[in-house]
Structure 1
Amino acid sequence: MTTATTAKVPLRSPQFCRVVAAEFTSSVGTQMTTLALPWFVLMTSGSPARMGLVFLIQILPVPLLSMPAGMVVARWGARRVTIVGDLCSAALTAAVPALYLAGLLPFWALLVIVALIGCVASVYLSAQRMLLIETIGSDEGVVTAGNALFETATSTARLIGPAVAGFLIAQFGALNVLWIDAATFALSAALLTRLPRHDLPPEAPSASNMAEGVRYLFRDPVLRTMSLAALGYGALMPVVMIALPVLARSRYHADPHVAGWLLAAWGGGTALGTLAVAWFARRFPPLWLAAAGGMGAAAGLWLLPWNQPVTTLALTVAASCMFLPGVTAPAVTLMMLRPPEHLRPHVVPVFGAAVFITSPIAYGVAGLLFEHLSVSTVLTAVAVGASLCGLVLLNLARHRART
């Protein structure tokens, strides 16, 4: 990626567009599978417990295998891993309806397939971000903007995927939707095949590289502080998401429409925020962008505990979520660029694994908090925590500016 046109407008390069298009396509497939596969289990077995087990088995390999996945990416390259990952996901997803129609799909076999899908996802997620660097280079502003646009594709897929899956399941049944899901993964692989190859490091990665990557993350003051702040928001924002239906029930006469509007405001604010970050990223350093995002999100959260009309509450939720990509995009960018090149595939998965572990715990704790405390009390505590995270990021940006 060294041509003059690419250097001038790297985010408009055909290669970058292919990566974003592939991410959107595969994410839509992932979101459709997330709904269609458990629904298929529920309808064929009638067991909510089996459906929950499918959810667990599918997501469990992601945090458990994220660190070893970095070695796979370092050894084989991000381009090859993402293409193979898409093809494996397509084959595994298609295997479910194929085996079921052949009468060869006992529940244990379904769990094996689902576990393999989770294993592929753990490697795939590690490779995606590294593929971004291979496509648009290593300029901080450009990579931050690229990460933001990448998140725009992912967030949009999260909004569209479940809705499309619900419609298609109603029209054609979950089994047939799984065929469509498999096709989206195959299309994603086809989009990535024309990307240029990236030279692999001459030395094969080893377990020592993985351990060194972990040590680098904790030793580097910027990465360590950014990780703690990002994990702080990752633990706090699930509490806010759980609070939205609680607010609809306790303050707005248990109106399900209000809950829907608030969740839509969450998704819309996040999507707008990713676009805003893509514009600001090439004008401000990542640390200052993260500090502004953190403080802005915290300011909005202080308004949530107040009793207010649903319209202003929705706008407050959207405004708070709009600032969050200002934290996450710079955090991922710094995780990708600050380590030496041979350690990058081993640093990013550590951060991803921590996020995957933190979010489910936060959702579980949030449910317990709302059982015993008022929603205003919990949201005030969230605002305090978010403010502390924002101050940590602001102090980091000021300290690095002086040095």
Structure 2
Amino acid sequence: MTTATPQRSPLRSWQFRRVLGAEFISSAGNQMTVLALPWFVLVTSDSPSRTGLVFLIQILPVPLLSMPAGLLVARWGPRRVTIVADMCSAMLIATVPALYMADALPFGLLLTIVALLGSVSAGYLSAQRVLLAEVVGSDEGTLTEGNALFETATSTARLVGPAISGILITQVGALNVLWIDAATFAVSAALLVGLPRREAPPRPVSANNMVEGVRYLFRDPVLRTMSLAALGYGTLMPVVMLALPVMAKSRYDADPHVAGWLLAAWGGGTALGTLVVARLARNIPPTRLAAGGAVGTATALWFLPLEQPALTAALTVGASCMFLPAVTAPATALITLRPPEELRANVLPVFGAAVFIASPIAYGVAGLLFEHLAVGAVLAGVAVGASLCALVLLNLSRRTVD
């Protein structure tokens, strides 16, 4: 009598560990660039307006090119697009200090390089989740857990990257930090080189496939509802992020330490939440997990408008961010797996572009709101919006048999 060998989880495979490691390293490098590149522009030009323009030019191509990037992922495959994106990012970032040292970096050329970096990021963002699905497989619970671990790597990098960059800038200067940034992308690409190639040849794709991907997203009731909720959070949470320094100034005597605690609570809560979701994902259906996370997020956000000590405010921020991965990880897993395989690379960019466009708009609107309204009133509006998102996801959970 033979006994069956227990099947090893894809999340314990060397392929998944390489993808996770590459995501952490490239995200840390990207976060280092987010600080080092604008700082380099600020100290070399002494122009805050030019620094702001660098931010805008780098982020603008991502929503604009997300759909063409989806076509590229469908044609080339996510592994190849991710590796090429990492290598291009490494070369583009290294070009900045190289040209500056050669006294051949006018501001117009720098903006061109930054725009190219943003264009490359569009391809990377379109490919990364499809690559994760190829490595992990098509089980919803496993992919949700994988997405949670993926988000853990990303959120941890968001904490580590700027901190390391800030220390290195003071030690070696922003110019040399850009060399280190370039190296992180090269290491990320090297980790992905050994992944198995896609066995099936890529299907022919065209703009019609992308249109069909958009139609599928709006036709499928689960994906439509999850996308609507994700768009809601993509609009609401940037308002909370911008509210943190405003709260530190208006409520806590403009204490920069309080602003730091609140921002740290944001990152720490997100990192903790992704770890919890990774443990729950196999046992709770995605729509039910998303509904629970939405209720937790909305409940925590109702405490944020209240006048309170800085410590409890930080705990409230951390709690709201801790519940949020329970919404985002299942949403990403469902949007990755529910469409037919030939449409996945076309549906994901549409979803990502909508959320990505919402964030900068939310930052702009939030800035105007905080100029004319009390921070508590704005945050109460955020809590109302989060409660509506929770009701939408609760209704979906009751209607859906996972």
Normalised to the residue count of structure 1, the TM-score between the two structures is 0.96
Give 1:6 deviation, angstroms: 9.2
Secondary structure of the corresponding residue to residue 8 of structure 1: coil
Question: 1:242 and 2:242 equivalent?
Answer: yes
Identify the residue that residue 22 of structure 1 maps to in structure 2. Answer: 22
Label 1:7 to 1:87 Cα distance change in 2 as closer, same or farther (>3 A).
farther
8 Å CA contact 1:6–1:13 kept in 2: the answer is no
In structure 1, the gaps of 5 or more residues are: none
Deviation at 1:215, TM superposition (A): 0.8
Aligned partners of 1:7 and 1:73: how far apart in 2? 30
Q: In structure 2, give the amino acid aligned to 1:187.
A: V
- Would you say the 8 A contact 1:77–1:200 is kept in 2? no
Distance change in 2, residues 1:5/1:121 (3 Å): farther
Deviation at 1:384, TM superposition (A): 1.1
Counterparts of 1:14 and 1:177, CA distance in 2: 30
Q: CA deviation at 1:253?
A: 2.1
CA deviation vs aligned residue, 1:64-88 (integer Å, no higher than 9, x gap): 0001100100000111111111111
**Tell me, what secondary structure is at the counterpart of 2:198?**
coil
* 2:57 equivalent to 1:57: yes
After superposition, the C-alpha distances for 1:273-329 in whole angstroms (9 at most, x for unaligned) are 000110100110100000000011001111112222222221111111100001101
2:96 maps to 96
Amino acid at match of 1:367: G
Are the equivalent residues in 2 in contact too, given 1:218–1:224 (CA < 8 A)? yes
Structure 2 length as normaliser, TM-score? 0.97
| Letter paired with 2:328 | T
Asked if the contact 2:203–2:342 (Cα under 8 Å) also holds between the matched residues in 1, the reply is no
Native 8 Å contact 1:301 1:383 kept in 2: yes
Amino acid of the structure 2 residue aligned with 1:94:
A
Deviation at 1:338, TM superposition (A): 0.5
Residue 232 of structure 1: how far off its partner (Å): 0.7
1:122-137 map, 5 Å = 122-137=122-137
* Equivalent residues in 2 for 1:228-377, closer than 5 Å: 228-377=228-377
Q: Which runs of 4+ in 1 moved over 6 A?
A: none
Helix, strand or coil: the match of 1:135? helix
**Identical aligned residues as a percent:** 74
**Structure 1 stretch 103-112 or stretch 177-186: which is displaced more?**
103-112
Tell me by how many angstroms 1:254 deviates.
2.0
1:129 CA drift (Å): 0.4
* CA distance 1:292–1:173, change in 2 (3 Å): same
Q: Is the 8 A contact 1:76 1:200 kept in 2?
A: no
Q: Deviations over 1:224-282 (max 9, x none)?
A: 11111111111111111122222222222222211111111111111000001101001
Distance in 1, Cα, partners of 2:78 & 2:200: 10
Report the equivalent of 1:140. Answer: 140
Structure 1 residues 150-161: aligned runs within 5 Å: 150-161=150-161
Q: Secondary structure at the match of 1:144?
A: helix
> Is the CA contact 2:57–2:115 (under 8 Å) kept in the aligned structure 1?
yes
Residue number in structure 1 paired with 2:207: 207
Cα RMSD (Å) of the superposition?
A: 1.4
Q: 1:309 to 1:47 in 2, by over 3 A?
A: closer
Give, as a single letter, the amino acid of the residue that structure 2 aligns with 1:43. Answer: V
Give me the whole-angstrom Cα distance separating, in 1, the residues matched to 2:255 and 2:113. Answer: 39
The corresponding residue for 2:216 is: 216
Amino acid at match of 2:235: A
Q: How many residues get paired?
A: 399
1:11 matched residue in structure 2:
11
CA distance in 1: counterparts of 2:5 and 2:196, whole angstroms: 16
Map of 2:197 onto structure 1:
197
Structure 2 CA distance for partners of 1:248 and 1:197, relative to 1, 3 Å: same
Which AA in structure 2 matches 1:214? V
Contact 1:300 1:316 in 2 (8 A): yes
